[in-house]
A and B are shown apart, each in its own frame.
Chain A
Amino acid sequence: MSKKINIVQSTAVPLDMENVDTDQIIPARFLKATSREGFGENLFRDWRYDSHNQPKKDFILNDPTYSGRILVAAKNFGCGSSREHAAWAIKDYGFDVVVSSFFADIFKSNALNNFLLPVTVSDEFLQKIFRAIAGDPSVELIVSLQDQTLTIPSLGETTHFDISDYKKTCLLNGYDDIDFLLSIKDEIEAFERSRD
C-alpha cells in the first residue's frame, strides 16, 4: 500500500450510480480472508462477473475505454456495512482517489485510514466530471491534496475540496491515526487514572 498522497494526475473511471453500498463494493462472501491484500480481484464482484465468473461486458470496469487511478462515483458512495475491505478492495484494484458528491461516514474514515483519498465535490461539479469523461474517456483529472483542489485541465475548471488539517498532514506525510495515538499513550493512561 502506497502511503503518502499528494498529487494524483490520471484518467478516471466513471461509476454513475447513487447509493453504492459496501456490499456491492465487496460482497460478504469474500470477507473470509484474514489479511488485507488481494481484495481488488473481487471489487464490485457481482457487477463485474456473472454467475459463471465471466466478465459482464456492460460493467464499466470491464470496459477497456475507461481506466485510471481515480474512481468517480455518484452520491452516497460507500453506505452500509462498516467493512474496511471495501476501501482495501478499491485501493488494491489500483485507485488512489475516489470522487463523489457525498460519502458515507464510515467509508470515508476507512478510506482515509488506507491512504485512499475521498474527494467531495458539489453535485454540479460532479456532473461536469461525468460529462467530461463521457465526451472523452482519455481526459485527465488532477487532484492536489496540498492545494485541496481537483482540476479538469481540458475544461480549465478547478474546484476546492475540504479535508481536516490533521488528516491532510497525515496523508501528506504518510502517517496514520494509530501512530499518533500510540505517541500519546502516557496521556491516555493519565486520563484513565483520573476517572477512577
Chain B
Amino acid sequence: MTKTLFEKIWDKHVIRTIDGGPSVLYIDKHFIHEVTSPQAFRGLEKRGQKVFRPKQIVATADHNVPTVDQHLPIKDELSRLQVQQLIENCRNNDIELYGLGHPFQGIVHVIGPELGITQPGMTIVCGDSHTSTHGAFGTIAFGIGTSEVEMVMGTQCLLQAKPKLMRINIEGTLNRGVLSKDIILYIISRISASGATGYFVEYAGSAIRGLSMEARMTICNMSIEMGAKGGMIAPDDITFAYLKGRPFAPQGEAWTKALAAWKELYSDPGAAFDMEIHIDAKDIEPMITYGTNPGMGIAVTGQIPSLQEVDDKERPSFEKSLQYMGLEPGSRMKGKKVDYVFIGSCTNSRIEDLRMVASFVKGKQKASDVEVWIVPGSKQVEKQATEEGIDKVFEAAGFHLRQPGCSACLGMNEDKIPAGKYCISTSNRNFEGRQGPNARTLLASPLTAALAAITGEVGDVREFI
C-alpha cells in the first residue's frame, strides 16, 4: 500500500485508536522550557504521579532569559523564579537540563536539531507551537498545551486525531536574494493565516530539495502560522550529512542501521493527500509583512492591498490591523523607515543566518537612527559565530551579538520594542503587541533585515547583491 511520509511515521507510533475518537500516539522526544512546564509538573505531582520516561525529555531555559549578562542573576523576579523552578523540577525528576551557563543552552528548536537529538522518523512534542521546526528532519513534530505536556510527562503518550494531509510542492529555481523565509511568507500570504488549519503539511519539490537544513527549518518553523498542525520535509542526503557526528546522533553500527531506516522515509509515489498546492519558485520575491498576522505579506516591491481589493467581510479586521500598524491601504512598503532590527528567534538565528547577515553587512555601517539586536539561537551558534569572527564583523558595522534566547521574538524578557516603533524582524509573528505593547512588527528574511540595519528602511536586497 502506498503511504505518505506522515503516515509511515504515524502508523509506527499509534498504540491504539479509540472508537469514534483519537489515537494513542507514542512520543519519542519531549522538549520542555521554563514557561509552559511548571503547571505540568505541579499537575503531575497533584495526581501523585512521577515523570514516566525522564530520559526522553530534554529541557532548556530560553523564553524569558536575558540576552545580556547571563552570568548574573536574572533581574526580573518572576522570570528568575520560573527559571529556578525549571532547575528544581528537572533535578527532582532526573531530567537533562541545558540551562543558563550550559554550553548547549539555547532556543529549544535550535538546540534539538543542532545537538542531533532531533532525528528522522521520530515523534516530537514541546509546549511551544514552533515545535513544527523539527519536521525539517522528517519527523512528526508539533506544539502542545500544558495539559498535554503533563500527559506526555506522565505517560509518554498523547491522544491525537489523525490530521488531514496537505502537500505543498515548490518546483524550480529560486530568484536571487530569495531565502527560505521568503518562501514561507509567500506561501502563508497565499493561503492565509488559517489556510492549513486541520492539516499536517509536507513540503516537497526541487526548490525544497535544494535547501540547506537551516533553510528547511525556517520553512517548517512557520507552518503553524498558516494554522497547520505541523510541517515536514522528507529526509535526504542533506539531512544525513547534517546529522552525522552531532553529539546525540547515532554512531558506528547504530548510525548504519538508523540510516537504512531513514532512507525509507518519503511519500510513496501515488500516495494520497487531502490537498495539494503547486508553487513555481520563480514567482517568489523577497517578502515583507505589513499587517498583524503572518498572512498579511507582500513582495517588498509590492503594494499593500487597497480597501477595494479586500473582501467586504474582512475589511474591518484589515482596517483595524493597518491602523495598528500606522500604514495606509494601497501604499508601498519599500522605503518605509524602521526603528529597530531584530535578527533572531527559532525561525532565523542559526549559524547560516548569522553568516548571511555578516557577509552582507561586512564593510558597511549601521544606519545611525536604527537600533539593531542580533540574538544567536544557542550557545553553540554564539561560539561558532565568535570562532568565525562574525562578532567582529558586527562590531565593525556598529552592532553586537547578544546572548542566546527568544528575546524580542515575544518580548518576555527586557528586549521589548517600544510602543509605536517599527521593527523589522526575522521572527515568525507580527501579532499586535507580540514584541512589546503597541510595537509594530514587519516580518522579513535575515537579508532584508540586514539591509534595513544598514539603510534604516525597508528595501529590496536584489539591488545590493
Which A positions have Cβ atoms within 8 angstroms of B?
16-19, 21, 23-24, 27-29, 31-36, 46, 51, 75-76, 79-85, 87, 102, 104-106, 109-110, 113-114, 164-167, 176-178, 180-182, 184-185, 187-188, 191-192
B-chain residues with CB within 8 Å of residue A180 when the two chains form the complex = 159
A-chain residues with CB within 8 Å of residue B158 when the two chains form the complex = 177, 181
B-chain residues with CB within 8 Å of residue A82 when the two chains form the complex = 36, 127-129, 143-145
Nearest opposing residue in chain A for B419, CB measure = A51
Determine if A18 and B47 form an interchain contact, defined as CB atoms under 8 angstroms apart.
Answer: no
Task: Identify B16's interface contact among A102, A187, A192, CB under 8 A.
Answer: A187
Task: Identify A181's interface contact among B24, B143, B227, CB under 8 A.
Answer: B24
Determine if A31 and B412 form an interchain contact, defined as CB atoms under 8 angstroms apart.
Answer: yes
Nearest opposing residue in chain A for B86, CB measure = A34
The A/B interface has a contact count, at CB < 8 Å, of 175
B-chain residues with CB within 8 Å of residue A84 when the two chains form the complex = 36, 39, 127, 145-147
Contact A34/B81 with A18-B317, A23-B434 known, Cβ cut-off 8 Å? yes
B-chain residues with CB within 8 Å of residue A188 when the two chains form the complex = 15, 24, 26, 155-157
A28 to B193, CA, bound (A): 20
A187 to B129, CA, bound (A): 29
B-chain residues with CB within 8 Å of residue A17 when the two chains form the complex = 316-317, 320
Q: How many residues of B contact A (CB 8 A)?
A: 67
Task: Identify B437's interface contact among A27, A81, A187, CB under 8 A.
Answer: A27
Determine if B156 and A23 form an interchain contact, defined as CB atoms under 8 angstroms apart.
Answer: no
Interface residues in B182-200 by Cβ distance below 8 A to A read 193-194, 197-198
A-chain residues with CB within 8 Å of residue B78 when the two chains form the complex = 32-33
Shortest Cβ-Cβ A-B pairs, 9 listed: A166-B21, A84-B145, A32-B78, A165-B20, A113-B147, A34-B38, A110-B145, A82-B143, A82-B129
A31 to B145, CA, bound (A): 13
B-chain residues with CB within 8 Å of residue A24 when the two chains form the complex = 431-433
Contact A32/B317 with A84-B36, A102-B194, A177-B151 known, Cβ cut-off 8 Å? no
A165 to B19, CA, bound (A): 8
A185 to B19, CA, bound (A): 19
B62 located at the interface, meaning its Cβ lies under 8 Å from any Cβ of chain A in the complex:
no
B429 located at the interface, meaning its Cβ lies under 8 Å from any Cβ of chain A in the complex:
yes
A-chain residues with CB within 8 Å of residue B148 when the two chains form the complex = 109, 113, 177
> Distance (Å) between the CB of B186 and the closest chain A CB?
19
> Distance (Å) between the CB of A153 and the closest chain B CB?
27
Contact A34/B42 with A82-B127, A106-B143, A182-B154 known, Cβ cut-off 8 Å? yes
A-chain residues with CB within 8 Å of residue B64 when the two chains form the complex = 32
B365 located at the interface, meaning its Cβ lies under 8 Å from any Cβ of chain A in the complex:
no
B82 located at the interface, meaning its Cβ lies under 8 Å from any Cβ of chain A in the complex:
yes
B348 located at the interface, meaning its Cβ lies under 8 Å from any Cβ of chain A in the complex:
no
Q: Which of B16, B35, B64, B81 has the most C-beta atoms of chain A within 10 angstroms of its own C-beta? A: B35
- 14 more A-B residue pairs beyond the given contacts A85-B146, A164-B22, with a C-beta to C-beta distance below 8 A: A19-B193, A24-B432, A32-B64, A35-B42, A46-B433, A79-B194, A83-B35, A105-B227, A110-B145, A110-B146, A110-B147, A165-B20, A166-B22, A188-B155
A-chain residues with CB within 8 Å of residue B194 when the two chains form the complex = 19, 75-76, 79, 102, 104
B-chain residues with CB within 8 Å of residue A181 when the two chains form the complex = 24, 151, 154-155, 157-159
B-chain residues with CB within 8 Å of residue A83 when the two chains form the complex = 35-36, 145
B410 located at the interface, meaning its Cβ lies under 8 Å from any Cβ of chain A in the complex:
yes
A184 to B82, CA, bound (A): 32
Determine if B293 and A185 form an interchain contact, defined as CB atoms under 8 angstroms apart.
Answer: no
A24 to B317, CA, bound (A): 14
Nearest opposing residue in chain A for B53, CB measure = A192
Could you give, for residues 4-18 of chain B, a 1 whenever the CB lies within 8 Å of some chain A CB and a 0 otherwise?
000000000001101
Determine if A106 and B145 form an interchain contact, defined as CB atoms under 8 angstroms apart.
Answer: yes
A-chain residues with CB within 8 Å of residue B159 when the two chains form the complex = 166, 177, 180-181
> Distance (Å) between the CB of A56 and the closest chain B CB?
13
> Distance (Å) between the CB of A176 and the closest chain B CB?
7
A176 to B129, CA, bound (A): 22
Determine if A167 and B21 form an interchain contact, defined as CB atoms under 8 angstroms apart.
Answer: yes
Contact A34/B157 with A24-B432, A82-B36 known, Cβ cut-off 8 Å? no
A-chain residues with CB within 8 Å of residue B21 when the two chains form the complex = 164-167
> Distance (Å) between the CB of B347 and the closest chain A CB?
14
Determine if A109 and B145 form an interchain contact, defined as CB atoms under 8 angstroms apart.
Answer: yes
Nearest opposing residue in chain A for B432, CB measure = A24
Determine if A23 and B433 form an interchain contact, defined as CB atoms under 8 angstroms apart.
Answer: yes
A13 to B36, CA, bound (A): 29
Nearest opposing residue in chain A for B293, CB measure = A19
29 contacts between A and B (CB under 8 A): A19-B194, A19-B317, A28-B63, A28-B434, A31-B63, A32-B64, A34-B38, A34-B39, A34-B82, A35-B42, A51-B438, A76-B194, A83-B35, A84-B127, A85-B146, A109-B144, A166-B20, A176-B147, A177-B158, A178-B147, A178-B151, A178-B154, A178-B155, A180-B159, A182-B155, A184-B16, A184-B24, A185-B155, A188-B15
Determine if B147 and A29 form an interchain contact, defined as CB atoms under 8 angstroms apart.
Answer: no
Contact A31/B35 with A82-B143, A164-B22 known, Cβ cut-off 8 Å? yes
Determine if A79 and B161 form an interchain contact, defined as CB atoms under 8 angstroms apart.
Answer: no
A-chain residues with CB within 8 Å of residue B49 when the two chains form the complex = 182
Could you give, for residues 420-437 of chain B, a 1 whenever the CB lies within 8 Å of some chain A CB and a 0 otherwise?
000000000101111001
Task: Identify B412's interface contact among A28, A46, A76, A80, CB under 8 A.
Answer: A28
